[in-house]
Amino acid sequence: MDRRQFLKNTTAAVAAAGVGAAPWRSAQAQASPIKIGLLAPLTGVVASGGKEMVEGVQFYLDQVKNEMGGRKVELVIEDDASNPDTALQKARRLVEQGNCHMLIGNLLANTGLAVANYVKGTGTPYFIPIIAADDLTQRARIKNVIRVAGYSASAFTHPFGDWALKQGYKKIATISQDYTFGHEQCGGLAQVFTEGGGQIVQQFWHPLNTADFSPYLGQLADLKVDAIFAMETGADSTRLIQQYASFGLKEKTPLLMAMNGTDQSVIRTMGPECEGIIAAAHFAEGSDVPTTAKFEKDYEAKYGKIPSLYGFSMYSGMMWIDAALKKMGGKVEDRETFIDTVLKTELDNSPLGKTVKFDDYGNPIYDVYIRKVVKRADGKYWNVPIETYPNVSQFWKYDPATYLKQPPYSRTFQGIKKT
């Protein structure tokens, strides 16, 4: 073949390939990937939780072979550095530069609130499986900010207060980190408990990252209460549980905690000092519901640890979004329909173990487990449900309109009934 002939042939071949490729290419353009922006704190104070958030998302994407609603998924991960200013900047980057169809993630309430305020202006769907600030599904709702597989902070402590009454507890003292997440969880418990005839003897608020709990534990021991409710996250929780046991309080007074206090991210490294602590939550990794047990087993097989709230919530959140996308054929570009579809979607077969749907305010209605930390056969500790409150609304048994008239829980308003 001479050179001229070669050129002719190759030109023809290339042209043919081009013609052949053209329709394929345009089809590709239609089904361009769904871009999901994931914001997680990979550095800063809550970095370990942030990494588990990423794991949860990737774990789901692996299972669905990176395809949601019939389209490929492109995941863009950004580090919010546990800092709201950085979170805001990264959210801008994902939306304006990355052209992400949706955002998901954030761990700390302040980062989530900053991003929520930003997407209020852009209309980008933003999913918050972890951010628990009450008002995002109550007094300050933003339509495109959706709590898939997440919860509002006081939603689980309402039934917890009721459970405490049923145990015959008359007097409870609370100790909590001094920020909104703590105020809201303590408030939920305090309101239901005092309205049912219980008494909140005293409430302690301590700054985040308290190294030594002995001043508080000393006072708590003197109060002679029936139970102590503690709301702690991360390292504070580890320290409180350890010091609670070493002060000998563990044998005397039952310890009730907010769900994050006995989350796997905390008790994974702990010994018998965490055994027997009670918490209320929508997820219990030690549940024997088949879907939950399967999720726990698969996750543990893959990552070598029992899933925490972070991994579980992000996984279930992704599943929820996927369920909505399947319903609408993956047309994520139509934001209005997408948001409405998500809000109307009921989630089946999730690790939650039961069909879940949103209430009218965009907060999921769960069965709330009262769960207890017990030792597993292999010596690890996990949370096992001991009682179930079915279909718990974020407004508990109150009428939503009346409930919303009361101020949000804060250090000064704990919903405590005056006697």
Q: Residues in the site for other proteins, rule: CB under 8 A?
A: 42-43, 78-79, 83-85, 88-90, 92-93, 95-97, 108-110, 113-114, 117-118, 133, 178-180, 183, 207-208, 410-412
**Cβ contact 331:337 at 8 Å:** yes
CB of 30 to other proteins, least distance (A): 24
CB of 390 to other proteins, least distance (A): 31
| Strands annotated E in 246-403 | 255-258, 278-281, 357-358, 364-375, 381-392
CB of 374 to other proteins, least distance (A): 33
Side chain identity at 276, as an amino acid letter? G
Nearest Cα to 205, choosing from 223, 235, 229? 229
Which one, 98 or 276, has the nearer CB to other proteins?
Answer: 98
Side chain identity at 187, as an amino acid letter? G
Return the percent helix, strand and coil in the chain, to nearest 5.
45, 20, 35
Displacement of CA 305 from its chain's centroid (Å)? 18
**Cross-strand pairs, 257:** 230, 279
Nearest Cα to 285, choosing from 204, 382, 361, 216? 382
CB of 182 to other proteins, least distance (A): 9
**Cβ contact 136:116 at 8 Å:** yes
Which one, 71 or 101, has the nearer CB to other proteins?
Answer: 101
**Cβ contact 220:247 at 8 Å:** no
**Cα-Cα-Cα-Cα dihedral of 298, 299, 302, 306, to 10°?**
-120
| Strands annotated E in 1-157 | 34-40, 67-68, 71-79, 102-105, 126-127, 145-146
CB of 408 to other proteins, least distance (A): 11
**Cross-strand pairs, 278:** 256, 372
Which one, 354 or 411, has the nearer CB to other proteins?
Answer: 411
Helix (H) or strand (E) holding 199: strand 199-206
CA 266, CA 308: separation in Å to the nearest integer? 9
| Strands annotated E in 298-416 | 357-358, 364-375, 381-392
CB of 110 to other proteins, least distance (A): 5
Quickly tell me which residue has 């001229």 as its tokens. Answer: 4
CB of 249 to other proteins, least distance (A): 27
Which one, 145 or 256, has the nearer CB to other proteins?
Answer: 145
Which one, 89 or 337, has the nearer CB to other proteins?
Answer: 89
CB of 6 to other proteins, least distance (A): 43
Which one, 97 or 402, has the nearer CB to other proteins?
Answer: 97
Quickly tell me which residue has 């301590």 as its tokens. Answer: 206
CB of 225 to other proteins, least distance (A): 25
**Cβ contact 112:45 at 8 Å:** no
Which one, 81 or 373, has the nearer CB to other proteins?
Answer: 81
Which one, 178 or 348, has the nearer CB to other proteins?
Answer: 178
Which one, 113 or 309, has the nearer CB to other proteins?
Answer: 113
